[in-house]
Chain A
Amino acid sequence: MDLSLSPEHLEIRRLVRGFAEREVKPRAEAIDHDDAFPRDLVAKAAQLGLLGTLVPEVYGGAGLDHLAFAIFVEEVARYSASTAGILDVHGSVGTEPIILFGNEEQKRRWLPDLARGQKLAAFALTEPEAGSDAANLKTTATRSDGAYVLDGSKIFITNAGEAQLYVVMATMRPGSGAEGITTFLVGGDNPGLKVGPKLKKMGLNGSAIAEVHLDHCRVDEKDRLGEEGEGFRIAMRALDSGRIGISAQAVGLAQGALDDAVAYAKERKQFGKPIAELQTIQNKIADMTVQVRAARWMTWKAAARCDAGQPFTTDASMAKLFATDAAMAITLDALQVFGGYGYLEDYPMARRVRDAKACQIYEGTNQVQRVVIARELVRS
């Protein structure tokens, strides 16, 4: 066991921390307030090579591992969880299915553009009637003259409208559950793909989340990812490592909230002394610190196991469940340390609470994580 970060990982953290402090931090409040997609930050992250973190070097990416990816997402999320979410979805569930399941031609066609940030990716699994029960999705794929025609609607699609690539899951055998599902790579310029209006949300403002409608959307056979019927497996595998990114996002949110709470507690004076000297505040700070550390270790462990080729599904589920619950609790406690000021949108505390809630819901609600974890426990 060696729980130290390698010089390479330390260097990545230094690089991303610099980017986050210099570029993301000053923009975070406006991104939230204006609810405008931060194309400028995506472009700057692309310049640093951060959009191709997991893409192998031969396809123009940085060829880094999931631990590096987790470090990168955490650092960005300390200041802006929505920006971190945009970059995470692109680099993880948007791009990784091609890295893992794409054929050579598909990799050459998509990965260099995705890695450079010339194209942004989205992952389209969830439907209005198929959330946690994703295997019962209704979007159909029908064969027609050597191509496929997709029909149906997706919802809660991050990067919708901004993305040039949609990884779409559709069923070729409606009613047959997971077995009928197939994955398709659909270009954003496909005339059969239409994006609905941006959904108005509690938080994660700035990130584009919308419905995606597939209306006689014609997809070439060469754009099928993996085999027919392999789509559910591809989606689940993408979500397994996707959860590492969500965990890292939650850790970043929590760490950012803790840092601000600590700084405020040292400055804010009541009863003639800094509130940091009151034990009730100290207890909150101690518990927040322990939770965020534990969450980070779990995230890194899931990442390290994934990178070492070991089974990591349960590790990632536990990390996602723990880190996002911790982020919710910590952002609420950090807001409480700020008192009335925490409730004002002048400070980032309220925004973090709004952002943290999403982490408990997406890429598998925490209830689904518990089902996954319990199933593994009862079976073993």
Chain B
Amino acid sequence: MTYSADEMMTVTAARSLRDRMTCFVGIGLPSEAANLARATHAPNLVLIYESGTIGAKPGALPLSIGDGILAETADAVVSVPEIFNYWLQPGRIDVGFLGAAQIDKFGNINTTLIGDDYARPRVRLPGAGGAPEIAAACREVIVVVRQTRRTFVKRVDFVTSVGFGDGPGARQRLGLTGAGPRKVITDLGVLEADPRSAELVLTGVYRGISLLDVGDRTGWDIRVSDELTEIPPPSATELTALRALLATMPASMRTSAATSPQVLAPTSAPISRPASTPATEGAAR
């Protein structure tokens, strides 16, 4: 079976969730991944949407975080102040799934604007929503985002949600209670935060993706882990489940996996390692 880069990304994100976890889900790729996990290896995954639906079990993918199907299938529906104050803020939720318009090497996320003048942005984006507090308070955060030079930047134009701030110790100084963005899953592979430097390091790539590809699509000199692995392609079960899930949405509403033009050949060249110093800056220009 051939598959797209976005399908690989969604499958990888779904694999990062374990059964019985509690998961705060944003709409789009995170929602697809969380629902895929629930449809495959994590049937008891607890999906929590910021609309106040706790334990939602949608049979079809919702377009918004407040579709009726979420309320109708939830274990509990609570008010918006309650979902943030009683459920998110005290650190009851295992994992928060976030997207990003820009992300830097410390996992700080911008979803507010592009440009250097707040009053006159080049592009005005939607803003914060629930993300700053999800990033602060979930026990850990997983970011799902397509990797490009426009997205993976040296410096985000606006810190909407704090990752590791300006480096080690920043989260503690700011009083952020969760562990932060330990993992960033892209359409090229997986980056994980180095426990000592707090910097995102490439730890896995998909079959057919070279380190050169990763370097080309990262706006900083990305570090590559000594234990870089190739992430197994989607299984037939995973792909079938994902496509069945996406088919529950009318074609005009699909924004991601199914409509992505880029197709990965499942048997192309293996990962090329840099000739020297594999732990640092291997793929950077």
Chain B associates with chain A: no
Give the interface of B toward A (CB within 8 A): none
